[in-house]
């Protein structure tokens, strides 16, 4: 990364940011659902991720090491790590609504969410209310967040079929304006 960020022949800031967002961040947050959920003690892990992102933001922008973290992250176009993890956790919780009826997770969820699957012996639906309050984890968070979901998801929705999409039906009315890329990357 240091060689790629050389000030004389290195990558421009746009490519540095793209490299960080597409390669480094997914590797660093892989498996986050094991330790990032409501009630989890993850201060140390978040501290390490914040340090990593600060170094990446300084690398992207070429700022001084004494620059404030929030400002450097803003200039680099990076959202704070804890907000990024919250966004990914929320999406993962709602993704459970798109699982098929035969998915094993359906048998573990509460009675309102298992969609006809036979309840597992350790399912949330078989737990007492007092025990549910003590248990913390990703599956408990999914079960708690699914009632907030108001939209229904269909894996093969008729609107998504070729020929029925907006761009297929109204191709004459849709115009894509390609702003083009900046010729001079120093303008960033």
Report angle CA 101, 105, 106 to the nearest 5 degrees.
40
Domain ranges within the chain, ordered by starting residue: 13-92, 100-147
Report how far apart the first and last C-alpha atoms of the chain are (Å, whole number): 20
Beta strands in 4-156 (DSSP E): none
* SS3 labels along 22-33: HHHHHHHCCCHH
Residue 89: its H or E element: helix 81-95
CA 90 vs CA 16, 65, 80, 133, 170: distances in Å: 27, 33, 16, 20, 33
The encoded tokens of residue 57 equal: 């933001």
> pLDDT 10s per residue in the chain (188 long)?
666 766 667 788 888 999 999 999 999 999 998 898 888 888 999 999 999 999 999 999 988 999 999 999 999 999 999 999 999 998 888 888 888 778 888 888 877 776 777 788 888 888 888 988 888 888 888 888 888 877 776 767 777 777 777 778 888 887 777 766 555 555 55
């Amino acid at each position: 990364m240091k060689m790629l960020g050389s000030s004389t022949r290195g990558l421009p800031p746009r490519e540095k940011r793209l490299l960080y967002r597409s390669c480094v961040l997914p590797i660093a947050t892989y498996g986050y659902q094991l330790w990032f959920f409501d009630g989890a003690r993850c201060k140390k892990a978040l501290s390490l991720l914040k340090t990593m992102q600060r170094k990446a933001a300084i690398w992207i922008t070429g700022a001084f090491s004494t620059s404030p973290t929030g400002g450097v992250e803003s200039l680099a176009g990076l959202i704070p790590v804890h907000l990024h993890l919250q966004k990914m956790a929320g999406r993962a919780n709602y993704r459970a609504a798109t699982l098929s009826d035969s998915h094993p997770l359906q048998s573990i969820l509460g009675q309102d969410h298992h969609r006809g699957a036979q309840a597992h012996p350790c399912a949330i639906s078989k737990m007492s209310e007092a025990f549910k309050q003590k248990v913390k984890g990703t599956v408990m968070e999914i079960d708690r967040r699914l009632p907030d979901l108001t939209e229904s998801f269909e894996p093969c929705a008729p609107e998504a079929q070729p020929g029925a999409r907006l761009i297929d039906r109204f191709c004459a009315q849709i115009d894509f304006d390609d702003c083009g890329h900046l010729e001079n990357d120093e303008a960033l």
